[in-house]
Amino acid sequence: MAGNRRERELARAKAQRQAERRSTDQARRRRTQQILGVVVALAVVVGAVVWFALGRSGDTTADEPLPMPTEPLAPDTEPTPGPSPDSTVQPVAGCAPPPAPRPDDMSYPDGPEQVIDSGAPYAITLDTNCGEISIATLPEAAPETVNSMVFLAEQGYFDLTSCHRLTTEGIFVLQCGDPAGNGTGGPGYAVADENLPPGDADNYPAGTVAMANAGPGTAGSQFFIVYADTTLPPAYTIWGEVTQGLDIVQDIAAAGVAGGGVDGPPAQQIVIEQATVGG
């Protein structure tokens, strides 16, 4: 009897150990499956992120225009810093030392009366320390803008003002027409937008002269000269075309931006010594 009882106790103990072992094995398998599930889920997420990133980078082609730098054609709310006084710049051939700029002391409460004949040709010549840049205006396409620019030129508004901003990546422009010399200046009045191009590629081709602005209907005196075909939002009034001296602007661009950036004061300073109006 005692032997039978002992055998039964041993059998129960063995069965209990087996049950505990099975329970432990099942728990271990569940943990392993959970860990594998987490690893697989993470792999899926990482794979999706990599696929999305590669897919997005693959969508960009060399034919697409680069993003336009933030408001490069708008009058600045903060002054654009000038070149470092101790910077060494290799002068551009044909450029003389720039004259001292005039004070920013000319302002008009209202836009000018009509001073041009919209059917007559007008040319504005910018005599700079690097040579002459001649602009044939488009009075029929942009009568209010050309009227304003002719008025300002005749008043001497552009005389002894610097071209304060050069952009050499994404868009290719030299910006001028600010007597403050830092992107904050204007004549005291605004001109309506005119002659806006379609939103096509290269809608501002090399040689185009257009108005800078800070939004619709805010053009003042600042303008930009396009020295290489450029794609921009169709938001800047085209009022002229360079007929002589585009090579001067291209040489200024080739010298780069002061400090080695892609948007800022040109390394080779260029100053409009006098702007004159001709037929």
* Residue from 225, 213, 275, 232 nearest 253 by CA: 225
pTM of the model: 0.71
The pLDDT of residue 67 is 32
CATH homologous superfamily of 123-278 equals: Cyclophilin-like (2.40.100.10)
CA pair distance 227, 164, nearest whole angstrom: 15
Cβ proximity of 136 and 124 under 8 Å: no
pLDDT in tens, 175-229: 999 999 999 999 999 999 999 999 999 999 999 999 999 999 999 999 999 999 9
pLDDT digits (tens, 9 = 90+) for 3-40: 555 555 555 555 565 555 555 555 555 554 454 443 33
Q: Within 13 Å and on the Cβ side, how many CA atoms surround 114? A: 8
pLDDT for residue 250 is more than 50: yes
Give the Cα separation of 124 and 44 in Å (integer). Answer: 64
Q: Give the Cα separation of 196 and 237 in Å (integer).
A: 5
Q: For residue range 150-159, what is the model confidence (pLDDT) as tens digits?
A: 999 999 999 9
Half-sphere exposure of 52 (CA within 13 A, CB side): 6
What's the DSSP call for residue 258?
A: G
Q: What is the pLDDT of residue 91?
A: 78
CB-CB contact of 83 with 270 (8 Å): no
